[in-house]
């Protein structure tokens, strides 16, 4: 089954999914990487995402390979640049930053990455990425040079997501950025949910089980958590329990 089919089937069945995000820089710590992936598998997290908006290490491909070796879960790239591609993954989120107006992130990087994605045989999942204000500037807002959608403007998020659906994108990813002070609000998730039928992925600043539960109830289909698991991979168990209800 393709990863997109898995997302669509889970949404149709009302099953919420947890994606454990591994930042390849953090993945340089081999012992921590192993513990994180092992816990993700034991806790029955549904997906493992690998990627980051800015990489300082040069061993991206090796990190994806290690994750794939250790994992019995689908490994999905969440790339911050066309350099973050690896044939060791199962799929790649083919991200268009549709909340922004940076042409490189709407089509430029896609042109650069497309031949490699085809050559590697990676499943590409067309994804509309919405950067939402999470209370402080994040690496993704700085690197992407885009203005996040204000938290108190759910209507903008809904119209943006709807435009993505009408353009033929297959998932919507709403993100306040890694380490954000605030998650995407329940009100904004509900507004997007009311306007699109695509699977909705939500990430940024999710640190506890109660918040995870509330975001799922608001309409998120997949929650992405990175920072909280970098701090303590044991958190994966409680988070998985909350998401899977």
Binding residues (CB under 6 A) for ligand 1GP: these are 21, 175, 177-180, 203-206, 224-228
In terms of CB distance, is 56 or 168 closer to ligand 1GP?
Answer: 56
Q: Can you read off the two tokens belonging to residue 225?
A: 């958590």
Q: What is the 3-state secondary structure (H, E, C) of the chain?
A: CCHHHHHHHHHHHCCCEEEEEECCCHHHCHHHHHHHHHHHHHCCCCEEEECCCCCCCCCHHHHHHHHHHHCCCCEEECCCCCCCCCCCCCEEEEEEECCCCCHHHHHHHHHHHHHHHHHHCCEEEEEEEEEECCCCCCHHHHHHCCCCECCCCHHHHHHHHHHHHHCCCCEEEEECCCCCCCCCCHHHHHHHHHHCCCCEEEECCCCCHHHHHHHHHHCCCEEEECHHHHHCCCHHHHHHHHHHC
Least distance from ligand 1GP to the Cβ atom of residue 179, Å: 5
Least distance from ligand 1GP to the Cβ atom of residue 54, Å: 12
User: How many whole angstroms separate alpha carbon 218 and alpha carbon 91?
Assistant: 27
Phi, psi (degrees; rounded to nearest 5) at 133 = -60, 125
In terms of CB distance, is 13 or 169 closer to ligand 1GP?
Answer: 169
Least distance from ligand 1GP to the Cβ atom of residue 67, Å: 16
The answer to whether 19 touches 225, Cβ cutoff 8 Å, is yes
CB-closest chain residue to ligand 1GP? 203
In terms of CB distance, is 169 or 174 closer to ligand 1GP?
Answer: 174
In terms of CB distance, is 100 or 204 closer to ligand 1GP?
Answer: 204
In terms of CB distance, is 160 or 229 closer to ligand 1GP?
Answer: 229
Least distance from ligand 1GP to the Cβ atom of residue 225, Å: 5
In terms of CB distance, is 29 or 69 closer to ligand 1GP?
Answer: 29
Phi, psi (degrees; rounded to nearest 5) at 50 = -130, 125
In terms of CB distance, is 119 or 232 closer to ligand 1GP?
Answer: 232
Least distance from ligand 1GP to the Cβ atom of residue 130, Å: 11
Least distance from ligand 1GP to the Cβ atom of residue 60, Å: 16
Least distance from ligand 1GP to the Cβ atom of residue 53, Å: 7
């Amino acid at each position: 089954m393709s990863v997109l089919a898995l997302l669509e089937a889970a949404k149709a069945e009302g099953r919420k999914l947890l994606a454990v995000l591994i930042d390849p820089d953090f993945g340089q710590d081999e012992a921590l990487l192993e513990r994180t992936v092992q816990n993700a598998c034991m806790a029955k997290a549904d997906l493992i995402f690998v990627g980051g908006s800015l990489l300082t290490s040069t061993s991206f491909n090796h990190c994806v390979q290690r994750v794939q070796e250790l994992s019995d879960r689908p490994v999905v790239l969440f790339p911050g640049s066309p350099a973050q591609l690896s044939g060791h993954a199962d799929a790649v989120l083919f991200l268009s930053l549709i909340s922004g107006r940076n042409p490189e992130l709407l089509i430029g990087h896609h042109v650069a990455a497309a031949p490699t994605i085809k050559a590697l045989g990676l499943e590409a999942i067309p994804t509309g990425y919405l950067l939402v204000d999470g209370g402080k500037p994040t690496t993704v807002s700085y690197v992407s040079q885009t203005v996040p959608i204000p938290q108190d403007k759910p209507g903008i998020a809904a119209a943006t997501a709807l435009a993505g659906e009408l353009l033929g994108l297959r998932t919507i990813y709403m993100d306040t950025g890694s380490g954000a002070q605030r998650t995407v609000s329940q009100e904004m998730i509900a507004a997007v949910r009311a306007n699109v039928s695509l699977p909705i992925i939500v990430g940024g600043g999710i640190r506890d089980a109660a918040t995870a539960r509330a975001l799922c109830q608001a309409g998120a289909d997949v929650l992405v958590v990175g920072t909280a698991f970098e701090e303590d991979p044991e958190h994966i168990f409680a988070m998985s329990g909350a998401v899977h209800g």
